[in-house]
């Protein structure tokens, strides 16, 4: 049986990263998405950024 593609630890890391970003650079509840597709160019709300980072 295989584990999930992302571990709880990874998920916690993402959340910490997002908390930090929302405090520092969050604007209107959005941050620039750091995933490979967006490369900080596009702004999304947290839920979508998490989604991007998990894929
Ligand atoms: Zn993205």
The string of pLDDT tens digits covering residues 6-45 is: 688 988 998 888 888 777 766 677 888 889 999 988 988 8
pLDDT value, residue 23: 78
Q: How far is the CA of 35 from the centre of ligand 1 (A)?
A: 4
17 domain-assigned: yes
| Residue 3 covered by a domain | no
What pLDDT score was predicted for residue 38?
93
User: Residue 36 falls within a domain, yes or no?
Assistant: yes
- Whether 34 is covered by a domain: the verdict is yes
Q: Which domain holds residue 27?
A: 8-53
pLDDT, residue 3, reads: 59
* Residue at 43 is within a domain: yes
pLDDT of 52 above 90: yes
- Distance between Cα 4 and ligand 1 center (Å): 21
Å from CA of 1 to ligand 1 middle: 30
- The number of folded domains in the chain is 1
Inside any domain, residue 1: no
Instruction: Give the distance (Å) from ligand 1 centre to CA of residue 13.
Output: 16
Residue 2 is predicted with a pLDDT of 60
1 pLDDT more than 60 = no
Joined tokens for residue 36: 């490979």
Expressed in percent and rounded to 5, the helix, strand and coil fractions of the chain are: 45, 15, 40
């Amino acid at each position: 049986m295989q584990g999930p593609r992302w571990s709880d630890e990874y998920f916690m890391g993402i959340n910490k990263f997002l908390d930090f970003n929302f405090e520092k650079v969050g604007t209107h509840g959005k941050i620039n998405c750091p995933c490979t597709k967006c490369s900080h160019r596009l702004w999304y709300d947290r839920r979508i950024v998490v989604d991007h980072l998990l894929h």
